[in-house]
Amino acid sequence: MPDSPPELDLYEAIREQYPPLLTTAQVGELLHIGARTVLTMAADGRLRASRLPGTRQYNFFRDDVIRVLDQNMVQPGELDVDEAPEEPVVAPPAAKKRPVKARRG
């Protein structure tokens, strides 16, 4: 019997680790993205979401998230490693602001 593709093993691991209904935070954790990005993906249709009327809580079905992962799987040869930066790009530290002194008048 041939081995299953590695992504199928990954999907089974996700099914074992996460419940069938996911919160925004759980989807963000699973996809390694922020909650705002998860909500943006739901708003533009990349991720299906549901919400009970009168609540602010969005819910996502685990299998829908897995389907998005599967549909966007990068195939060998699609990555151009010659163009990738050798080191991660890091934003410069923010300049420290000096406190504003109150004016005496």
- Domains defined for the chain, CATH in brackets: 6-71 (1.10.1660)
Check residue 72 and give its pLDDT.
87
* Whole-Å CA distances, 37 to 15, 24, 57, 98: 22, 10, 15, 32
The pTM assigned to this predicted structure is: 0.67
- Rounded mean pLDDT, 52-62: 93
pLDDT in tens, 80-95: 766 666 666 566 666 6
pLDDT band at 1 (very low <50, low <70, confident <90, very high): very low
Check residue 57 and give its pLDDT.
92
pLDDT of 2 > 70? The answer is no
